[in-house]
Structure 1
Protein backbone atom coordinates (compact mmCIF):
# COMPACT_ATOMS: atom_id res chain seq x y z
CA UNK A 1 0.00 0.00 0.00
CA UNK A 2 2.83 2.40 0.78
CA UNK A 3 4.29 1.75 -2.67
CA UNK A 4 0.90 2.61 -4.21
CA UNK A 5 0.77 5.90 -2.26
CA UNK A 6 4.35 6.70 -3.20
CA UNK A 7 3.70 6.05 -6.89
CA UNK A 8 0.71 8.39 -6.78
CA UNK A 9 2.78 11.04 -5.02
CA UNK A 10 5.57 10.78 -7.58
CA UNK A 11 3.13 10.82 -10.47
CA UNK A 12 0.98 13.73 -9.41
CA UNK A 13 3.38 15.99 -7.53
CA UNK A 14 6.78 15.54 -9.17
CA UNK A 15 5.35 15.50 -12.71
CA UNK A 16 3.48 18.53 -13.94
CA UNK A 17 2.34 16.90 -17.18
CA UNK A 18 1.54 13.22 -16.79
CA UNK A 19 -0.94 13.50 -19.64
CA UNK A 20 0.37 14.86 -22.91
CA UNK A 21 -2.88 16.22 -24.30
CA UNK A 22 -2.66 19.73 -25.80
CA UNK A 23 -3.27 22.60 -23.40
CA UNK A 24 -5.77 25.26 -24.38
CA UNK A 25 -5.89 28.98 -23.71
CA UNK A 26 -3.14 31.44 -22.78
CA UNK A 27 -0.43 30.93 -20.16
CA UNK A 28 -2.58 32.43 -17.41
CA UNK A 29 -5.42 30.01 -18.11
CA UNK A 30 -3.01 27.09 -18.21
CA UNK A 31 -1.51 28.09 -14.89
CA UNK A 32 -4.97 28.38 -13.31
CA UNK A 33 -5.90 24.96 -14.70
CA UNK A 34 -2.70 23.46 -13.32
CA UNK A 35 -3.32 24.92 -9.86
CA UNK A 36 -6.90 23.65 -9.89
CA UNK A 37 -5.74 20.19 -10.93
CA UNK A 38 -3.07 20.12 -8.21
CA UNK A 39 -5.63 21.11 -5.59
CA UNK A 40 -7.89 18.27 -6.75
CA UNK A 41 -5.05 15.79 -6.54
CA UNK A 42 -4.15 16.97 -3.06
CA UNK A 43 -7.75 16.57 -1.90
CA UNK A 44 -8.17 13.22 -3.66
CA UNK A 45 -5.01 11.84 -2.08
CA UNK A 46 -6.53 12.42 1.37
CA UNK A 47 -9.50 10.14 0.70
CA UNK A 48 -8.42 7.77 -2.09
CA UNK A 49 -6.38 5.39 0.05
CA UNK A 50 -9.14 4.86 2.60
CA UNK A 51 -11.82 4.31 -0.07
CA UNK A 52 -9.56 1.95 -1.99
CA UNK A 53 -8.67 -0.11 1.10
CA UNK A 54 -12.29 -0.36 2.19
CA UNK A 55 -13.51 -1.53 -1.21
CA UNK A 56 -10.74 -4.12 -1.51
CA UNK A 57 -11.53 -5.44 1.98
CA UNK A 58 -15.19 -5.89 1.03
CA UNK A 59 -14.39 -8.17 -1.93
CA UNK A 60 -14.96 -11.90 -1.32
CA UNK A 61 -12.02 -14.30 -1.21
CA UNK A 62 -12.06 -15.54 -4.79
CA UNK A 63 -9.62 -16.30 -7.57
CA UNK A 64 -9.19 -13.86 -10.45
CA UNK A 65 -11.82 -15.44 -12.68
CA UNK A 66 -14.32 -15.43 -9.82
CA UNK A 67 -13.76 -11.73 -9.19
CA UNK A 68 -14.00 -11.03 -12.92
CA UNK A 69 -17.41 -12.70 -13.08
CA UNK A 70 -18.60 -10.52 -10.21
CA UNK A 71 -17.92 -7.43 -12.32
CA UNK A 72 -21.04 -8.13 -14.36
CA UNK A 73 -23.51 -9.15 -11.63
CA UNK A 74 -24.86 -7.78 -8.38
CA UNK A 75 -25.22 -4.27 -7.05
CA UNK A 76 -22.87 -1.43 -7.88
CA UNK A 77 -21.01 -1.57 -4.55
CA UNK A 78 -20.15 -5.26 -4.89
CA UNK A 79 -19.10 -4.78 -8.50
CA UNK A 80 -16.85 -1.90 -7.45
CA UNK A 81 -15.24 -3.90 -4.65
CA UNK A 82 -14.54 -6.77 -7.07
CA UNK A 83 -13.07 -4.29 -9.56
CA UNK A 84 -10.77 -2.73 -6.97
CA UNK A 85 -9.69 -6.18 -5.77
CA UNK A 86 -8.75 -7.06 -9.35
CA UNK A 87 -6.77 -3.82 -9.71
CA UNK A 88 -5.02 -4.47 -6.40
CA UNK A 89 -4.21 -8.08 -7.25
CA UNK A 90 -3.30 -8.01 -10.95
CA UNK A 91 -1.80 -4.60 -11.75
CA UNK A 92 1.71 -4.50 -10.22
CA UNK A 93 1.48 -2.45 -7.01
CA UNK A 94 -2.11 -1.60 -7.96
CA UNK A 95 -0.85 0.79 -10.65
CA UNK A 96 -2.82 0.71 -13.95
CA UNK A 97 0.07 2.36 -15.81
CA UNK A 98 1.98 -0.93 -15.40
CA UNK A 99 -0.50 -2.97 -17.43
CA UNK A 100 2.28 -4.09 -19.80
CA UNK A 101 3.97 -5.89 -16.89
CA UNK A 102 0.98 -8.23 -16.50
CA UNK A 103 1.41 -11.64 -18.08
CA UNK A 104 -0.22 -15.03 -18.24
CA UNK A 105 -3.61 -16.58 -18.76
CA UNK A 106 -6.28 -17.70 -16.34
CA UNK A 107 -6.52 -21.44 -16.94
CA UNK A 108 -8.18 -23.64 -18.02
CA UNK A 109 -10.38 -20.99 -19.68
CA UNK A 110 -7.26 -19.37 -21.24
CA UNK A 111 -8.31 -15.78 -20.60
CA UNK A 112 -5.54 -13.13 -20.73
CA UNK A 113 -4.97 -11.72 -17.23
CA UNK A 114 -4.21 -8.27 -18.63
CA UNK A 115 -7.72 -8.06 -20.10
CA UNK A 116 -9.27 -9.18 -16.81
CA UNK A 117 -7.34 -6.33 -15.18
CA UNK A 118 -8.53 -3.92 -17.87
CA UNK A 119 -12.15 -4.89 -17.22
CA UNK A 120 -11.54 -4.26 -13.53
CA UNK A 121 -10.17 -0.81 -14.35
CA UNK A 122 -13.15 0.11 -16.52
CA UNK A 123 -15.77 -1.18 -14.07
CA UNK A 124 -14.02 0.66 -11.21
CA UNK A 125 -14.21 3.94 -13.15
CA UNK A 126 -17.89 3.37 -13.90
CA UNK A 127 -18.90 2.47 -10.36
CA UNK A 128 -16.71 5.01 -8.55
CA UNK A 129 -18.21 7.79 -10.65
CA UNK A 130 -21.59 7.00 -9.04
CA UNK A 131 -20.33 6.61 -5.47
CA UNK A 132 -20.18 9.28 -2.82
CA UNK A 133 -16.54 10.34 -2.45
CA UNK A 134 -15.57 7.93 -5.23
CA UNK A 135 -14.90 10.43 -8.01
CA UNK A 136 -11.47 11.40 -6.68
CA UNK A 137 -10.23 7.81 -6.74
CA UNK A 138 -11.69 7.39 -10.24
CA UNK A 139 -9.73 10.44 -11.38
CA UNK A 140 -6.50 9.11 -9.89
CA UNK A 141 -6.96 5.72 -11.57
CA UNK A 142 -7.67 7.43 -14.89
CA UNK A 143 -4.53 9.54 -14.71
CA UNK A 144 -2.44 6.55 -13.67
CA UNK A 145 -3.49 4.67 -16.80
CA UNK A 146 -2.82 7.80 -18.85
CA UNK A 147 0.74 7.85 -17.51
CA UNK A 148 1.41 4.92 -19.84
CA UNK A 149 1.59 6.32 -23.41
CA UNK A 150 0.32 3.06 -24.93
CA UNK A 151 -2.27 2.66 -22.21
CA UNK A 152 -3.53 6.18 -22.83
CA UNK A 153 -3.82 5.56 -26.56
CA UNK A 154 -5.30 2.05 -26.49
CA UNK A 155 -7.63 2.30 -23.51
CA UNK A 156 -8.48 5.97 -22.98
CA UNK A 157 -8.24 7.63 -26.39
CA UNK A 158 -9.75 4.48 -27.99
CA UNK A 159 -12.00 3.07 -25.25
CA UNK A 160 -14.90 0.63 -25.45
CA UNK A 161 -18.09 2.41 -26.49
CA UNK A 162 -19.61 2.26 -23.01
CA UNK A 163 -16.57 3.91 -21.46
CA UNK A 164 -16.28 7.07 -23.58
CA UNK A 165 -18.91 9.06 -21.62
CA UNK A 166 -17.61 7.71 -18.31
CA UNK A 167 -14.05 8.84 -19.02
CA UNK A 168 -15.23 12.28 -20.08
CA UNK A 169 -17.45 12.56 -17.00
CA UNK A 170 -14.66 11.61 -14.60
CA UNK A 171 -12.13 13.93 -16.27
CA UNK A 172 -14.58 16.83 -16.26
CA UNK A 173 -15.84 16.27 -12.72
CA UNK A 174 -12.38 16.23 -11.14
CA UNK A 175 -10.92 18.95 -13.37
CA UNK A 176 -8.28 16.94 -15.20
CA UNK A 177 -6.28 19.06 -17.63
CA UNK A 178 -6.65 18.55 -21.37
CA UNK A 179 -9.08 17.03 -23.82
CA UNK A 180 -10.27 13.59 -22.68
CA UNK A 181 -12.80 13.01 -25.46
CA UNK A 182 -12.20 9.78 -27.40
CA UNK A 183 -10.57 9.65 -30.80
CA UNK A 184 -12.97 6.78 -31.53
CA UNK A 185 -14.70 4.01 -29.62
CA UNK A 186 -13.38 0.50 -30.09
CA UNK A 187 -15.45 -2.51 -29.12
CA UNK A 188 -17.49 -3.13 -26.00
CA UNK A 189 -17.19 -4.52 -22.49
CA UNK A 190 -16.13 -7.02 -21.38
CA UNK A 191 -12.72 -6.87 -23.01
CA UNK A 192 -11.68 -10.29 -21.67
CA UNK A 193 -12.79 -13.57 -23.17
CA UNK A 194 -11.34 -17.07 -23.65
CA UNK A 195 -9.10 -17.86 -26.61
CA UNK A 196 -11.27 -19.57 -29.22
CA UNK A 197 -10.48 -20.61 -32.80
CA UNK A 198 -7.83 -19.67 -35.35
CA UNK A 199 -7.35 -16.95 -37.94
CA UNK A 200 -4.48 -15.91 -40.21
CA UNK A 201 -2.09 -13.09 -39.39
CA UNK A 202 -3.12 -11.35 -42.64
CA UNK A 203 -6.74 -11.25 -41.53
CA UNK A 204 -5.73 -9.99 -38.10
CA UNK A 205 -3.78 -7.17 -39.72
CA UNK A 206 -6.47 -6.28 -42.25
CA UNK A 207 -9.13 -6.06 -39.53
CA UNK A 208 -6.92 -4.02 -37.15
CA UNK A 209 -6.85 -6.66 -34.45
CA UNK A 210 -4.46 -6.30 -31.52
CA UNK A 211 -1.75 -8.96 -31.37
CA UNK A 212 -0.99 -10.63 -28.04
CA UNK A 213 2.31 -12.25 -27.11
CA UNK A 214 2.83 -15.72 -25.64
CA UNK A 215 1.81 -14.37 -22.22
CA UNK A 216 -1.39 -12.71 -23.47
CA UNK A 217 -0.09 -9.13 -23.29
CA UNK A 218 -0.90 -6.71 -26.18
CA UNK A 219 2.18 -6.28 -28.38
CA UNK A 220 3.04 -5.40 -31.99
CA UNK A 221 3.18 -9.09 -32.87
CA UNK A 222 2.46 -12.45 -31.33
CA UNK A 223 0.75 -15.84 -31.60
CA UNK A 224 -2.65 -14.52 -30.48
CA UNK A 225 -4.87 -11.67 -31.59
CA UNK A 226 -7.68 -9.73 -29.94
CA UNK A 227 -10.63 -8.67 -32.06
CA UNK A 228 -11.85 -5.72 -30.03
CA UNK A 229 -14.83 -5.09 -32.30
CA UNK A 230 -16.28 -8.59 -31.84
CA UNK A 231 -14.85 -9.17 -28.38
CA UNK A 232 -13.04 -12.36 -29.34
CA UNK A 233 -9.50 -13.71 -28.99
CA UNK A 234 -7.95 -16.09 -31.52
CA UNK A 235 -4.77 -18.02 -32.09
CA UNK A 236 -2.76 -17.09 -35.16
CA UNK A 237 -2.24 -19.94 -37.62
CA UNK A 238 -1.29 -19.26 -41.22
CA UNK A 239 -2.53 -21.31 -44.22
CA UNK A 240 0.96 -22.64 -45.05
CA UNK A 241 0.98 -24.40 -41.68
CA UNK A 242 0.18 -28.10 -42.32
CA UNK A 243 -2.07 -28.08 -39.26
CA UNK A 244 -4.05 -24.99 -40.42
CA UNK A 245 -7.64 -24.95 -39.21
CA UNK A 246 -10.04 -22.40 -40.64
CA UNK A 247 -11.66 -20.50 -37.80
CA UNK A 248 -12.43 -17.09 -36.45
CA UNK A 249 -16.13 -17.15 -37.29
Structure 2
Protein backbone atom coordinates (compact mmCIF):
# COMPACT_ATOMS: atom_id res chain seq x y z
CA UNK A 1 0.00 0.00 0.00
CA UNK A 2 2.82 2.35 0.88
CA UNK A 3 4.57 1.42 -2.35
CA UNK A 4 1.45 2.25 -4.37
CA UNK A 5 1.11 5.62 -2.58
CA UNK A 6 4.73 6.51 -3.26
CA UNK A 7 4.41 5.55 -6.91
CA UNK A 8 1.27 7.67 -7.31
CA UNK A 9 2.96 10.58 -5.54
CA UNK A 10 5.97 10.30 -7.83
CA UNK A 11 3.76 10.36 -10.94
CA UNK A 12 1.87 13.43 -9.72
CA UNK A 13 5.13 15.25 -9.03
CA UNK A 14 6.38 14.42 -12.53
CA UNK A 15 3.11 15.58 -14.10
CA UNK A 16 3.25 18.85 -12.16
CA UNK A 17 6.84 19.40 -13.16
CA UNK A 18 5.93 18.77 -16.81
CA UNK A 19 3.13 21.31 -16.69
CA UNK A 20 5.41 23.84 -15.06
CA UNK A 21 8.07 23.35 -17.72
CA UNK A 22 5.46 23.66 -20.47
CA UNK A 23 4.24 26.89 -18.88
CA UNK A 24 7.77 28.27 -18.82
CA UNK A 25 8.29 27.42 -22.46
CA UNK A 26 5.02 29.16 -23.38
CA UNK A 27 6.16 32.29 -21.56
CA UNK A 28 9.42 32.22 -23.49
CA UNK A 29 7.50 32.20 -26.80
CA UNK A 30 5.17 34.99 -25.75
CA UNK A 31 8.04 37.22 -24.74
CA UNK A 32 10.07 36.58 -27.90
CA UNK A 33 10.71 39.60 -30.16
CA UNK A 34 8.52 40.02 -33.23
CA UNK A 35 10.28 40.19 -36.61
CA UNK A 36 11.33 43.79 -37.23
CA UNK A 37 9.54 45.89 -39.81
CA UNK A 38 11.15 46.35 -43.20
CA UNK A 39 10.23 48.63 -46.12
CA UNK A 40 10.03 47.72 -49.79
CA UNK A 41 8.50 48.75 -53.14
CA UNK A 42 6.45 46.03 -54.90
CA UNK A 43 7.05 47.62 -58.30
CA UNK A 44 10.77 46.85 -57.94
CA UNK A 45 10.33 43.07 -57.84
CA UNK A 46 10.40 42.51 -61.63
CA UNK A 47 13.58 44.48 -62.25
CA UNK A 48 12.14 47.06 -64.65
CA UNK A 49 8.71 48.66 -64.38
CA UNK A 50 8.20 49.06 -68.13
CA UNK A 51 5.40 51.17 -69.58
CA UNK A 52 5.31 50.46 -73.30
CA UNK A 53 1.67 49.72 -74.05
CA UNK A 54 -1.84 50.90 -73.23
CA UNK A 55 -3.99 48.85 -70.86
CA UNK A 56 -7.69 49.65 -71.18
CA UNK A 57 -8.96 47.23 -68.54
CA UNK A 58 -7.85 45.82 -65.20
CA UNK A 59 -5.06 47.39 -63.16
CA UNK A 60 -3.67 50.50 -64.81
CA UNK A 61 0.03 51.32 -65.02
CA UNK A 62 -0.50 55.01 -65.72
CA UNK A 63 -3.15 57.63 -66.43
CA UNK A 64 -3.19 61.00 -68.18
CA UNK A 65 -4.41 64.12 -66.43
CA UNK A 66 -5.07 66.51 -69.32
CA UNK A 67 -5.97 69.40 -67.01
CA UNK A 68 -2.64 69.18 -65.16
CA UNK A 69 -0.80 68.09 -68.33
CA UNK A 70 0.73 65.20 -66.45
CA UNK A 71 1.22 61.49 -67.01
CA UNK A 72 0.62 59.87 -63.62
CA UNK A 73 2.32 56.59 -62.67
CA UNK A 74 0.97 55.04 -59.45
CA UNK A 75 3.55 53.58 -57.07
CA UNK A 76 3.48 52.46 -53.45
CA UNK A 77 5.65 51.64 -50.46
CA UNK A 78 4.95 48.71 -48.12
CA UNK A 79 6.19 47.60 -44.74
CA UNK A 80 6.64 43.94 -43.91
CA UNK A 81 6.77 42.26 -40.51
CA UNK A 82 4.26 40.94 -38.00
CA UNK A 83 3.59 44.35 -36.49
CA UNK A 84 2.36 47.48 -38.28
CA UNK A 85 2.49 49.68 -35.17
CA UNK A 86 3.59 53.28 -35.38
CA UNK A 87 3.80 55.89 -38.12
CA UNK A 88 6.71 55.48 -40.54
CA UNK A 89 8.18 58.35 -42.52
CA UNK A 90 9.57 57.24 -45.88
CA UNK A 91 11.89 59.41 -47.96
CA UNK A 92 11.44 59.26 -51.74
CA UNK A 93 14.06 60.42 -54.25
CA UNK A 94 14.75 60.22 -57.97
CA UNK A 95 17.93 58.18 -58.43
CA UNK A 96 19.73 59.50 -61.52
CA UNK A 97 22.95 57.55 -60.86
CA UNK A 98 21.24 54.18 -61.27
CA UNK A 99 19.84 55.10 -64.67
CA UNK A 100 23.07 56.71 -65.88
CA UNK A 101 25.08 53.58 -65.03
CA UNK A 102 22.63 51.32 -66.85
CA UNK A 103 22.69 53.55 -69.93
CA UNK A 104 26.49 53.65 -69.91
CA UNK A 105 26.69 49.86 -69.68
CA UNK A 106 24.23 49.50 -72.62
CA UNK A 107 21.72 47.77 -70.35
CA UNK A 108 19.11 50.32 -71.48
CA UNK A 109 19.31 50.62 -75.26
CA UNK A 110 17.60 53.58 -76.92
CA UNK A 111 16.89 55.15 -73.55
CA UNK A 112 17.74 58.51 -72.02
CA UNK A 113 17.46 59.77 -68.46
CA UNK A 114 14.27 61.67 -67.73
CA UNK A 115 15.33 65.23 -66.82
CA UNK A 116 14.83 66.09 -63.16
CA UNK A 117 12.67 69.12 -63.96
CA UNK A 118 10.23 67.04 -66.03
CA UNK A 119 8.94 64.91 -63.17
CA UNK A 120 7.48 65.40 -59.69
CA UNK A 121 7.74 63.06 -56.71
CA UNK A 122 6.66 63.60 -53.09
CA UNK A 123 9.70 64.15 -50.89
CA UNK A 124 8.23 61.98 -48.12
CA UNK A 125 5.18 59.85 -47.46
CA UNK A 126 3.88 58.39 -44.20
CA UNK A 127 2.70 54.85 -43.60
CA UNK A 128 0.18 55.38 -40.83
CA UNK A 129 0.13 53.17 -37.76
CA UNK A 130 -2.08 50.16 -38.38
CA UNK A 131 -1.42 50.24 -42.13
CA UNK A 132 1.00 48.26 -44.28
CA UNK A 133 0.94 50.39 -47.42
CA UNK A 134 0.90 53.97 -48.66
CA UNK A 135 0.46 54.86 -52.35
CA UNK A 136 2.11 57.81 -54.07
CA UNK A 137 2.35 59.15 -57.62
CA UNK A 138 5.15 59.89 -60.02
CA UNK A 139 4.02 62.73 -62.30
CA UNK A 140 5.73 63.39 -65.65
CA UNK A 141 5.29 66.47 -67.83
CA UNK A 142 2.91 65.52 -70.64
CA UNK A 143 4.02 68.15 -73.15
CA UNK A 144 7.62 67.05 -72.74
CA UNK A 145 6.70 63.42 -73.39
CA UNK A 146 4.80 64.40 -76.52
CA UNK A 147 7.90 66.20 -77.83
CA UNK A 148 10.13 63.11 -77.67
CA UNK A 149 10.99 61.70 -81.13
CA UNK A 150 9.77 58.24 -82.11
CA UNK A 151 11.95 55.40 -80.95
CA UNK A 152 13.33 57.22 -77.90
CA UNK A 153 12.48 55.89 -74.44
CA UNK A 154 12.91 57.57 -71.07
CA UNK A 155 13.95 56.14 -67.72
CA UNK A 156 13.78 57.18 -64.08
CA UNK A 157 14.74 55.34 -60.88
CA UNK A 158 12.81 55.92 -57.64
CA UNK A 159 14.47 55.02 -54.34
CA UNK A 160 13.00 54.80 -50.83
CA UNK A 161 14.75 55.22 -47.48
CA UNK A 162 13.86 55.62 -43.81
CA UNK A 163 15.71 56.47 -40.62
CA UNK A 164 13.22 54.44 -38.55
CA UNK A 165 13.35 50.94 -40.06
CA UNK A 166 15.56 49.13 -42.57
CA UNK A 167 14.74 48.89 -46.29
CA UNK A 168 14.92 45.67 -48.31
CA UNK A 169 18.06 46.27 -50.39
CA UNK A 170 16.69 44.31 -53.35
CA UNK A 171 13.37 46.16 -53.42
CA UNK A 172 14.37 49.69 -52.49
CA UNK A 173 14.68 51.10 -56.03
CA UNK A 174 12.12 50.92 -58.83
CA UNK A 175 13.50 51.43 -62.33
CA UNK A 176 10.78 52.88 -64.56
CA UNK A 177 11.01 53.06 -68.35
CA UNK A 178 8.43 54.92 -70.40
CA UNK A 179 7.91 54.82 -74.16
CA UNK A 180 6.31 58.16 -75.21
CA UNK A 181 5.19 56.60 -78.50
CA UNK A 182 2.19 55.11 -76.70
CA UNK A 183 0.76 58.61 -76.29
CA UNK A 184 0.26 58.96 -80.04
CA UNK A 185 -2.15 56.68 -81.90
CA UNK A 186 -1.20 55.26 -85.30
CA UNK A 187 -4.34 54.54 -87.35
CA UNK A 188 -4.28 51.61 -89.76
CA UNK A 189 -6.83 49.28 -91.32
CA UNK A 190 -7.52 46.89 -94.17
CA UNK A 191 -10.77 46.20 -96.04
CA UNK A 192 -12.27 43.21 -97.80
CA UNK A 193 -15.44 42.87 -99.87
CA UNK A 194 -17.94 40.15 -99.02
CA UNK A 195 -17.74 37.11 -101.31
CA UNK A 196 -21.45 37.23 -102.18
CA UNK A 197 -22.33 40.91 -101.63
CA UNK A 198 -19.70 43.10 -103.30
CA UNK A 199 -20.93 46.32 -101.67
CA UNK A 200 -20.59 44.83 -98.18
CA UNK A 201 -17.14 45.71 -96.87
CA UNK A 202 -15.47 44.32 -93.74
CA UNK A 203 -12.94 46.69 -92.18
CA UNK A 204 -10.20 45.24 -89.98
CA UNK A 205 -8.64 47.70 -87.56
CA UNK A 206 -4.86 47.42 -87.08
CA UNK A 207 -4.28 50.71 -85.24
CA UNK A 208 -1.70 51.12 -82.50
CA UNK A 209 -1.95 53.07 -79.24
CA UNK A 210 -5.60 53.93 -79.78
CA UNK A 211 -8.53 53.84 -77.36
CA UNK A 212 -11.28 55.22 -79.59
CA UNK A 213 -12.25 55.16 -83.27
CA UNK A 214 -14.45 57.05 -85.70
CA UNK A 215 -15.15 55.80 -89.24
CA UNK A 216 -16.29 58.02 -92.12
CA UNK A 217 -17.23 55.83 -95.10
CA UNK A 218 -17.29 58.77 -97.50
CA UNK A 219 -20.90 58.46 -98.59
CA UNK A 220 -22.47 61.00 -96.23
CA UNK A 221 -23.58 58.39 -93.66
CA UNK A 222 -23.19 58.91 -89.92
CA UNK A 223 -19.85 58.13 -88.33
CA UNK A 224 -19.39 54.67 -86.80
CA UNK A 225 -17.34 54.11 -83.64
CA UNK A 226 -16.92 50.33 -83.75
CA UNK A 227 -13.32 49.16 -83.75
CA UNK A 228 -13.71 46.95 -86.86
CA UNK A 229 -17.09 47.58 -88.50
CA UNK A 230 -18.78 45.98 -91.51
CA UNK A 231 -20.52 48.44 -93.79
CA UNK A 232 -22.76 48.00 -96.83
CA UNK A 233 -22.77 50.79 -99.42
CA UNK A 234 -26.15 51.62 -100.94
CA UNK A 235 -24.75 52.47 -104.38
CA UNK A 236 -21.71 52.04 -106.58
CA UNK A 237 -18.99 54.67 -106.75
CA UNK A 238 -15.60 55.74 -105.47
CA UNK A 239 -15.50 56.67 -101.80
CA UNK A 240 -12.82 57.98 -99.44
CA UNK A 241 -12.86 56.05 -96.17
CA UNK A 242 -11.32 57.85 -93.17
CA UNK A 243 -10.42 56.24 -89.86
CA UNK A 244 -9.74 58.66 -87.00
CA UNK A 245 -7.92 57.05 -84.10
CA UNK A 246 -7.92 58.72 -80.68
CA UNK A 247 -5.31 57.97 -78.04
CA UNK A 248 -5.17 58.48 -74.30
CA UNK A 249 -4.53 62.21 -74.72
CA UNK A 250 -7.89 62.63 -76.46
CA UNK A 251 -8.21 64.88 -79.49
CA UNK A 252 -4.78 66.42 -78.87
CA UNK A 253 -3.01 63.57 -80.66
CA UNK A 254 -5.82 62.12 -82.78
CA UNK A 255 -4.61 60.86 -86.16
CA UNK A 256 -6.31 59.91 -89.43
CA UNK A 257 -5.80 57.41 -92.22
CA UNK A 258 -7.69 57.62 -95.52
CA UNK A 259 -8.15 54.98 -98.21
CA UNK A 260 -10.04 55.25 -101.49
CA UNK A 261 -12.42 52.39 -102.26
CA UNK A 262 -14.19 51.65 -105.53
CA UNK A 263 -17.56 50.02 -104.97
CA UNK A 264 -19.10 48.17 -108.00
Measured against the shorter chain, the TM-score band is under 0.3
More helix by share: 1
The structure number with the bigger radius of gyration is: 2
Output the TM-score relative to the length of structure 2.
0.25
**TM value normalised by structure 1:** 0.26
